[in-house]
Each structure stands twice: as structure tokens, then as C-alpha cells.
Structure 1
Amino acid sequence: MVVEAVADAEKMEAADEDVETELKAMADQYKMEVDKLKEALRPENYAMVAQDIKMRKAVDFMFENAIVE
């Protein structure tokens, strides 16, 4: 996938702060406390959140660096 290749080439990662911000947003969406959401999540869920953040960063990067003629 192109987006994943860009993320890897640019060495993009989801920082702990990024994951924490995303978890807070998810908790707000589900009207839960962040701690309760964290208790409900399995380790693979954290990995999926981090992967989603990484992909969003790559898409943002591609839009910011797109050359439009």
C-alpha cells in the first residue's frame, strides 16, 4: 500500500502522546472515562490505534507535499 510505504520511508510513528490523545477522543466518543477504556482494550487494540495514527500522518504528509499542476 502506498500510504504504508510513505509512512515507512518517512519513518513515521505514533508517539505515546498521539496514542493518548486518540484514546481520550475515543473515550469522549463513547462517553467513557479514559481509564475504563484502557482497561477494556487489549494490546492488539493499542497496536491498531498506533497504526491508524501512523497512516493518518502519512496521508497528511502526502497532501501537504502533493504537487498540483
Structure 2
Amino acid sequence: MRSTAARTTARVIGVIAILIGALWVGQGLGVLPGSAMSGVLFWFWVGAVLVLVGLALLFFSRRPVPPSA
């Protein structure tokens, strides 16, 4: 990512993805009861993948910008 706006957008989306993914992991494991998703293992896996996607966005948005030729 070259522009500051793209890096900032990727970081914001990454943090939101991590938070939502963590919520879904908690619901899928039954730690956060009170919804139709609670205790359904499918939501644990979806949340875990979303957390990984968020972490990847944060990682790639922090890589140094290569010098232009």
C-alpha cells in the first residue's frame, strides 16, 4: 500500500475485523450467550478466520513503503 489513506483504511478495517471476529469466536464457544449464534461452533470458525484476516490487514498496512524508482 502506497498512500496514507489506503494504509489508514486498512488499519481501521483490520481492527474492526478483529473485534467482530473476537465477538463471533466468543459467541461460537458459548462464552457470550444470548443470541442465535451462541454455542454454534460454525461461528467460532468464521470468527477465527475474520480475526486472521484482520491481523493480516494490520500486518500488511504496517510494512514499509518501497522506494519508487
TM-score range, shorter chain: 0.3 to 0.5
In our comparison, the structure showing a higher alpha carbon Rg is: 2
**Which TM-score applies when normalising by structure 2?**
0.44
**Quick check: which one's helix share is greater?**
1
State the structure with bigger RCO (CA 8 A, min sep 6), 1 or 2: 1
**Which TM-score applies when normalising by structure 1?**
0.44
